Amino acid sequence: MQLILLGAPGAGKGTQAEFICKQFGIPKISTGDMLRVEIAARTPIGQKVQGIMAEGKLVPEEIVNSLLMARLKLPDCKKGFLLDGYPRTISQAELLETNGILIDAIIEIYISDEDIIKRLSGRRIHPQSGRTYHIIYQPPKNPEIDDITQEPLIQREDDKEETVRMRLQVYHQQTEPLIAWYQKRSPNKYIQVEGEGAVNSICDQIMQKLGSVMEKRDGDRHINQG
């Protein structure tokens, strides 16, 4: 099972990706996570992209492409994978095809810009553990303080409202054409679900629609083989 998960920053892709990967026993491959590891390790790549990401801009494609292609060659990808945050552009989608990477389904989680801004700008992180809070939806017991350690929480640079708005602007400019490209090129593989609502409800929608795509794919294969 080789899947792509699309959606604007803050659409809830990470939560749904974990659920999907658990269901199918495949790894989640997030280019954003890979880049943050590079930044934390202060590698040459990390130092190069840190400022770019903090401003909400897209990291140069050659860097992201190189990291991704190296990741897909690892043994845990043999049974499949879910791409979260890649591709972002049509040229990246074409690169997958050029390298013979066939995608079974493309899943888009849609949510309005204003709801995304509310979600992300209210997020707070405990940097040492990675625990996440939200000042509205999941507040800590004491404002801006981690429940466990009593240490200060932080707001990531890319969660600040002005940065979120920049990220959304980049998303609309760069990635929305990719959505239209996939909808035209692979309409039978394209799935769109609303990102507002209970997490379990969104999961159920994805799995139901994904099941329909897989059934059609298997049916087409049976006809072709017959």
CA distance linking residue 81 with residue 26, whole number of Å: 5
Instruction: Tokens 């920049």: give the residue.
Output: 166
DSSP code at position 57? P
Is residue 119 exposed (0-12), middle (13-18) or buried (19+ Cβ within 10 Å)? buried
Helices and strands, number each (H, E), in the chain:
9, 7
Closest CA relative to residue 116, chosen from 152, 71, 44, 170: 170
Active site residues per annotation: 13, 88, 123, 156, 167
Closest CA relative to residue 210, chosen from 18, 23, 13, 31: 23
Angle made by CA atoms 147, 153, 157, in degrees to the nearest 5: 150
Angle made by CA atoms 11, 194, 117, in degrees to the nearest 5: 35
Cβ neighbors of 113 (< 8 A, separation 6 or more) are 8, 168
The first and second tokens of residue 173, run together, are 């400019």
